[in-house]
Amino acid sequence: VIEAGVERYLFPEFVDSPVLLTDSSGVHRIPISEMIIAMMLILAKRLYKFMQFQLQRKWVTLITNELIPNELADKTAGILGLGNIGMETAWKAKCFGMKVLALKRKPMRRPTYIDEILGPEDLDYLLSESDYLVITVPLTTETYHMISERELKLMKPSAYAINVSRGAIIDHAALIKALKEGWIAGAGLDVFEEEPLPEDSEFWRLENVVITPHISGWTPHYDDRVVKIFCENLVRYLDGKPLINVVDKKAGY
């Protein structure tokens, strides 16, 4: 398939069949990791607030604490999901001088640009330490609403949540409550449980939220990269070699 997320293809009959499914994992590595860093900068530098002033043609002379631009250096990026996007984001975050924590379901050798590799049992630690929680896990039965009220309350009041994966990984009712009541400082959201995001959604009215319409993976190079993966797999298939990007249909990714 031409996507990285495959949950909508995994109906029971297909999962139980011997048919192989390959995805386009890797296509989104550059554009989504860049969007994540962009959202970090927008939130850190308070650009979402200054854009509002620009639209109002308002030159702000009194810079209060909530308007002082912050730095990414020495902040902690907690990456929930360490696939292609997570790895690229970790490298870019380290280039900004951030401490990088990453949670991965299966053990792996730690790259030099990641400070700690964590397992699923370390989720609470990741949440409590992160200044920027970056969600890049696929949507499965295990990850549905894995970030809910309990998890959001573990985060720092100064922390931000960035979701570029699937909206349903975060319980949106809990997230709205967290944003309104100050459990966390804000959020950068490219994905939502209901898309398009309804006009009456409270997210539109929250000033501490940056919203993009599920476009973080879009790039002028998308088709070329998908075709490259397809052609590689076609050659491998004809030569009887193992395919790349084979989906574990039971695991959901």
In the set 71, 181, 194, 195, the catalytic residue is 195
In the set 214, 221, 225, 236, the catalytic residue is 214
From CA 185, how far away is CA 97, in angstroms rounded?
21
Dump strand ranges (E) for 6-131: 76-80, 99-103, 116-118
From CA 167, how far away is CA 161, in angstroms rounded?
12
For residue 182 the two structure tokens come to 């100050």
Burial class (CB in 10 A: 0-12, 13-18, 19+), 9: middle
In the set 28, 29, 166, 172, the catalytic residue is 166
172 is a catalytic site residue: no
Side-chain half-sphere of 134: how many Cα atoms within 13 Å? 32
User: Prior bond to 198 cis, omega within 30?
Assistant: no
195 is a catalytic site residue: yes
Catalytic residues: 166, 195, 214
